[in-house]
Structure 1
Amino acid sequence: MKSLRTALFPVFLIFSILTMSWGQSQAVPAKAAAPPALLAPTPEQMEASRHLAQYLIQNHYRKVPLNDSLSQQIFDRFLDNIDNNRSYFTASDVERLRKEYGNRLDDDFITGNPEGGFAIYNQFLKRARQKMAFMMKALKTSTFDFTKPETLELERSKTAPWSVDLAALQDQWRKELKYQYLNMKFTGEKGKSIKSALEKSFRNRLNLFNQQKPEDAFVAYMNAVTTSFDPHTDYFSPDMYENFQIDMSRSLEGIGAKLQMENEYTVVNEIIPGGPAFKGNQLKKGDQIIGVGQGENGEIIDVVGWRINDVVKKIRGPKGTVVRLKVLPASQANKGPARIIRIVRAKVDLQEQAAQKKIIIEKGKKIGVIVLPSFYLDFEGERQNKTNYTSTTRDVIKILNELNAAKVDGIILDLRDNGGGSLEEAVNVTGLFVGQGPVVQVSNALGGKMVLKDEEYPALYTGPLVVLVNRYSASASEIFAAAIQDYGRGVIVGDRTFGKGTVQSIVSIKRPFSMFTNQPDLGQLKLTVAKFYRISGGSTQHIGVLPDIVLPSMIDPEVVGEDTYTSSLPWTTISRADYTPVGSVSRADISMLKSEFKARAAKDSQYQAYLADLATLNRIRNKKSVSLQEKNFETESKTLKQIQDRWGDENLETGKKKKTDFIIQETAGIMDDLIDLKAQETDAPMLQKPAAQLIKAMPLGKK
């Protein structure tokens, strides 16, 4: 296994759904500055552009035709990135820019010329400054009428054309101002403090727009170029890459979350298992961070539009100190009102990241639950051949041994929110349930195929198995769940998984060698170089793993998932690997379990209430606009809060994790049915061999 891993890609084992995209601004200066001159690319950025083009054309998994179609894709994606809500450009702006640059960006890309991107970005800055000036003036001179039946269209790139002229654009700004006012009011602000906070926010953002640098324009444009190939290919400037390295090493105190920029917002991309945010259980993937405050009572600073590096610097801090985040929850489709989340900074605790177990009783049956937050591995400990380095496989072996001693009747493996991790561990843990054999296939850009197998571990557990997944289960989690499904080893329950079936590698953008200079690199490129495929031949990419029995969660599938990215690689197939299904669960078994679950759920008042609340939540999420009438806005806000209080992982008032996990309860009912079904077929013991025997039999340095 090690030789395969080493031969494949430099960062093969640390794949995740991490994306660190472009940021737009920097820390707030003390005083507003006059609008600067138009931004223009530096010689270093022109050079970096040429190298980026060569890397993408030659090495990216997707071979994109270099034509006007690519040019239009880059153009549209760039506008969508910097003006997703169609709040800065008018129709005439877009028409003029498209006419001048729409069909030439592909040629500029090949020659490494980013000047077209800079021209578009300069127009964005012009309108952005106009908007902030308008908002500050309107805040002082306008009288808000919150009884008027007005609405604000949301996600206008999907629902509305560009504003016909500046007057129409200003009317859009006026409605946005009312929306922001209502949002702040129902977050907890009152009276004059709302206007004061909004004015400060707009003034700070105007200062930010006036302090833009060429790097901001360059990174924004390069992000539009790279994500036209696929959503996980990114350019890091030298400064951004430094933060990326810190993030991956987890060496600084913080909240334990990976962040990215989407449009003007800092978005939570991943919650790191074992970190403060993970333990607090309030911050979720997809949440938009719109403000950061220090300590228990420090002022919450608006960070909309800030450069990602500067938001990260605000959130990081000494261990034991408090940071407060103002977020728009993804569970509400990032609609208001905002929530204030309190987090105590700390380092990531690897013990908190480790697999954990519990035993629950369902109709007199003992059911073991293994919670696996990620597929973790102490890479350095493995490299040094240490005896007791941390690994998922070791921990799961220990837990299986303990569950065997407890004589459990079945096991639920909980992979909800598991965003991936070590491929080696995913392969080895799969072996603990299916035995030695193929687990996943990898195909590179040249069409070469590699089958990765578990070659070390026999099946330790052969009894009833349910794997619980949700929309946040990605990468390594999907590989494990897909293998269990393809082998017919267990029942997959929950939501469709994320659908990330691609592999990325980090490459440095190096200048040509010269014995007379020692100039630094021009940044780094995170490049998609391969795809994962199930052993049955289909990819996990885009579609993910479809559950055998759907148990829907409150996660919004329109916000979270590979299929929400317009440039994601498609679902494809390759030839089937040579493997033999174990047949623990047949399609007939699945059909029977579905029928039993459906019949039970129809009589379950709690489950029906859950579905009713989910339908209400989806209705609110799917609305193309939001009411600007205070009464309606308040009613909707209260409804969202009530649903979260009833079914969320934590109580919004206390922030404490709830004792009862509703989804686990429902999954236990399915497991009960599976145990009964299997009991009719066989009396075979569920564990073949105590796990401790396997560990004892291995030489030092092995798992």
Structure 2
Amino acid sequence: MNSIILFMKRNIKLVIVTILLSVSLFAFSAYEKSKSSSHDPEKDKLLIELLMFVIERGHYDPASIDDNLSKGIYKDFIDALDPSRRYFIQSDIDKFAKHETLIDDQIKNKEFTFFDLAYSTYVKRMEESQKFYKDILDEPIDYNVNESINTDYEKMPFAKNESELKERWRKQIKLSTLSSLTDKIKLQEEDKSENKKIKSFEELEKETRESSLKTLDDYFKFISELDRNDWFGVFVNAISSRFDPHTNYMAPDDKERFDVSISGKFEGIGARLQKKNDFTEITELISGGPAWRGKELEPGDVILKVAQGDGEPVDISGMRLDNVVKKIKGPKGTEVRLTVKKVDGTIKVISLIRDMVETEETYAKSSVVERNGVKYGIIYLPKFYIDFENKDSRDAGKDVAIEVERLKQQGVSGIIMDVRDNGGGSLKTAVDITGLFIEQGPVVQIKSAGTKKEVLYDRDAKVQWDGPLVVMVNNFSASASEILAAAIQDYKRGIVIGSKQTYGKGTVQNVIDLNQFVRGNTVGDLGALKTTTQKFYRINGGSTQLEGVSSDVVMPDRYSHINIGERDLENAMPWSKIDAAPYDTWKKQVNFEKALQNSKSRMALNEHFQLIEKNAKWTKERKDAAVYSLKFDEFKKEQEKIEAESKTFKPITDYQNDLKFKPIPEDEVVMQKDESFKEKRERWFESLSKDIYVEEALNVLDDLQGKPVTKGDINLKKKVVKSK
């Protein structure tokens, strides 16, 4: 999720920290040496020295450099090298274990005995593994044997010997080829074209082995091109991430990619990825990108294979994240096909056309809906954007103010503020937007290590909208979104509805270029460190860290029973509390408690929400499944059962309400002139007409203004089982 962007001119404390670092590190001079190879031991020492110095003095709450930290680094680095337990054997681990509590001392002494041992052993095991997979794929695979594989690698012990290791390779390759073979047979059965060539089972089996062999050859070729510096960067990250999940070392290439991503100008599918064991998981969809527009990919989906256009899908399990990114990225207008495992366990092939992220889609937009003679407005904000360097650029705070004014001109009786899937952005804009709905007062509290708290206020007594207000959130509303929702909730200014809780990211990060601290640098680019420098708190004193913001009205979604968010990250910083800031709750809300109770009662009776809750429990059950049959008939039967079960939840995506969402007049004028803009707005209106959560938000607005909700508004049973 996006880090909160602080209005740095106001944060003098961080500037002082940076000055202290600069003065202290000015003594670090570049090491004058001619390098005989790409590996420079002195550069490694300097990097570690800088890293620890910056973390110890700049991190919000740095952990002690002790045996506990050492154990964490040990675990993380072994997991990074061998997440699926397919390279190291137990005798390797026995050798490594001698260093488990010594890494902290090695860091202090700037020696890398553990790293050198693990790295050299890894290179050796990688070379040996190439013979394993070549031997396995050289002969036809027998899919009639009744055997299974457990893919819960985290709980799996390391192989006792090379024989057991090769057996793991055999089963993993068999699972991969079996999945591909099943897909090929299914596609052939579904192909209704004339003059199609029917391939035999044996032909398709051979094709899957050849494809798997090419994939593994490409993977090992890529690995062989990585040098010690690449793996040392992984080791450095194993150190930095032990302080908290958002403190990360960025090697020079990573820093360059980060700079590109924050500029918002890139071609691709518009998704953020992360490694989880051997797999690549979608963590966030970028507003305006092809994946976001397509609405088929979701956070939590795991990418299994990548295909270029009509090309053969490439299995990416075990592949390094940067190599996966290279396969998914590509020129605008080209097609990439992703085979993904959905959070409910179903397998789906999703086709996407690469494109530039559409900047217009990242800005605030509004719509008007009328029912029973009453008009309401909805404002959708994908992120809290601002550009401090360019005064003429768009500003989320100003844009939302404009949308509120336009909705007022349309005579709306209530407003929905939709920050679902909003990963955050500028803290300043979150304060400004909150100020549109409250009288002057505190909005958020910020605390740096060892300093007094700072309270950010809305100092404008003007209230731009004082009518009924609903804030919509979900599991992926983070950072600035949580500040807005928390402030509205603490003031009792409006009702927060959505997921059980928001993402739970209550920390602030800053990116520090490590090169700035080295005088006369001749060792080369040292990269950068993104580190946690502050925590922010609600005005009631509680942190949003881990706990997020709990919705006033909890609405079930498919993630209801899955840990998604900061609480799912290992080593996340704890929840904490500070003194509350003085504030007065909103006094004009007369139907607040009644609206809450009415909404809860409606959802308890709504069959569609009941189906969503049932789907959430099934999704949790499927996500935890880790054992797969490797017998063709059984595997196929299992997949068909999952697919049949998933179809029972199809009414969720087929849902339609009777609401007609319309553009505000200003947008209508643009729609008449710009076909692309018109198409995007109409697509948004269509998605709103399928959104039961928006429908319930409108019911809450009815309750807040004392309007009785009719049976038609409740929508208990109609269209629930409708399926296209």
Please indicate the TM-score interval, normalised by the length of the shorter structure: 0.7 to 0.9
Partner of 2:137: helix, strand, or coil?
Answer: helix
CA distance in 2, matches of 1:362, 1:633: 46
Call closer, same or farther: CA 1:458–1:640 in 2, change over 3 Å. farther
CA distance in 2, matches of 1:450, 1:622: 43
Superposition map of 1:366-405 within 5 A: 366-382=375-391, 386=392, 389-405=393-409
Q: Which amino acid aligns with 1:176?
A: Q
Deviation for aligned residue 1:186: 4.7
Q: 1:610 aligns with which of 609, 612, 616?
A: 612
Aligned residues: 635
What is residue 193 of structure 2 aligned with on the other side? none
Any stretches of 5+ residues in structure 1 without a counterpart? 13-37, 682-703
Q: 1:679 aligns with which of 683, 687, 706?
A: 706
Partner of 2:437: helix, strand, or coil?
Answer: helix
1:534 matched to 2:538? The reply is: yes
Q: 1:195 aligns with which of 190, 209, 224?
A: 209
CA distance in 1, matches of 2:144, 2:635: 5
Q: Which amino acid aligns with 2:504?
A: G
8 Å CA contact 1:292, 1:301 repeated in 2: yes
Call closer, same or farther: CA 1:261–1:673 in 2, change over 3 Å. closer
CA distance in 2, matches of 1:174, 1:246: 40
Partner of 2:343: helix, strand, or coil?
Answer: helix
Q: 1:156 aligns with which of 153, 173, 185?
A: 153
Superposition map of 1:126-137 within 5 A: 126-137=124-135
1:352 matched to 2:365? The reply is: no
> CA offsets, 1:395-427, max 9 Å, x none?
212221222222223222111110011111111
1:621 matched to 2:623? The reply is: yes
8 Å CA contact 2:306, 2:336 repeated in 1: yes
Q: 1:505 aligns with which of 504, 510, 518?
A: 510
Deviation for aligned residue 1:325: 4.0
Superposition map of 1:23-102 within 5 A: 42-99=41-98, 101-102=99-100
What is residue 691 of structure 1 aligned with on the other side? none
What is residue 421 of structure 2 aligned with on the other side? 417
Call closer, same or farther: CA 1:677–1:400 in 2, change over 3 Å. closer
Call closer, same or farther: CA 1:205–1:114 in 2, change over 3 Å. same
Any stretches of 5+ residues in structure 2 without a counterpart? 1-5, 18-36, 186-203, 657-682, 709-724
Deviation for aligned residue 1:558: 4.1
Call closer, same or farther: CA 1:327–1:476 in 2, change over 3 Å. farther
Q: Which range moved further: 430-439 or 263-272?
A: 263-272
Q: 2:256 aligns with which of 231, 234, 242?
A: 242
8 Å CA contact 1:256, 1:278 repeated in 2: yes
Call closer, same or farther: CA 1:676–1:326 in 2, change over 3 Å. closer
CA distance in 2, matches of 1:649, 1:519: 59
Q: Which amino acid aligns with 1:503?
A: V
Partner of 1:626: helix, strand, or coil?
Answer: strand
8 Å CA contact 2:628, 2:635 repeated in 1: no
Call closer, same or farther: CA 1:305–1:168 in 2, change over 3 Å. closer
CA distance in 1, matches of 2:43, 2:334: 40
Call closer, same or farther: CA 1:363–1:140 in 2, change over 3 Å. farther
Call closer, same or farther: CA 1:301–1:58 in 2, change over 3 Å. same
Q: 2:110 aligns with which of 109, 112, 115?
A: 112
Say what the alpha-carbon RMSD is for the aligned residues. Answer: 3.3
Superposition map of 1:274-423 within 5 A: 274-294=288-308, 296-319=309-332, 321-329=333-341, 331-332=343-344, 335=345, 337-346=347-356, 348-361=357-370, 365-382=374-391, 386=392, 389-423=393-427
8 Å CA contact 1:373, 1:415 repeated in 2: yes
Partner of 1:140: helix, strand, or coil?
Answer: coil
Deviation for aligned residue 1:68: 0.9
What is residue 701 of structure 1 aligned with on the other side? none
> Structure 1 length as normaliser, TM-score?
0.82
Deviation for aligned residue 1:531: 0.6
> Structure 2 length as normaliser, TM-score?
0.80
> CA offsets, 1:111-155, max 9 Å, x none?
33334123223333433444443233223335333562x443233
Superposition map of 1:486-525 within 5 A: 486-495=490-499, 496-510=501-515, 513-514=518-519, 520-525=524-529
CA distance in 1, matches of 2:545, 2:654: 28
Partner of 1:434: helix, strand, or coil?
Answer: coil
Partner of 1:231: helix, strand, or coil?
Answer: coil
CA distance in 2, matches of 1:39, 1:147: 49
Call closer, same or farther: CA 1:192–1:381 in 2, change over 3 Å. same
> CA offsets, 1:97-118, max 9 Å, x none?
112x101111112233334123
CA distance in 2, matches of 1:282, 1:47: 46
Call closer, same or farther: CA 1:69–1:444 in 2, change over 3 Å. same
8 Å CA contact 1:441, 1:532 repeated in 2: yes
Q: Which range moved further: 266-275 or 184-193?
A: 184-193
What is residue 638 of structure 1 aligned with on the other side? 643
Call closer, same or farther: CA 1:123–1:613 in 2, change over 3 Å. same
Matched residues, percent identical? 32
Call closer, same or farther: CA 1:305–1:526 in 2, change over 3 Å. same
CA distance in 1, matches of 2:523, 2:119: 28
Call closer, same or farther: CA 1:82–1:465 in 2, change over 3 Å. farther
Q: Which range moved further: 241-250 or 549-558?
A: 549-558
CA distance in 1, matches of 2:325, 2:414: 43
Call closer, same or farther: CA 1:375–1:657 in 2, change over 3 Å. closer
Partner of 2:567: helix, strand, or coil?
Answer: helix
1:223 matched to 2:262? The reply is: no
Deviation for aligned residue 1:322: 1.4
Call closer, same or farther: CA 1:660–1:249 in 2, change over 3 Å. closer
CA distance in 1, matches of 2:141, 2:468: 65
8 Å CA contact 1:133, 1:206 repeated in 2: no
Please say which structure displays the higher CA radius of gyration.
Answer: 2
CA distance in 1, matches of 2:229, 2:416: 49
Call closer, same or farther: CA 1:155–1:409 in 2, change over 3 Å. farther
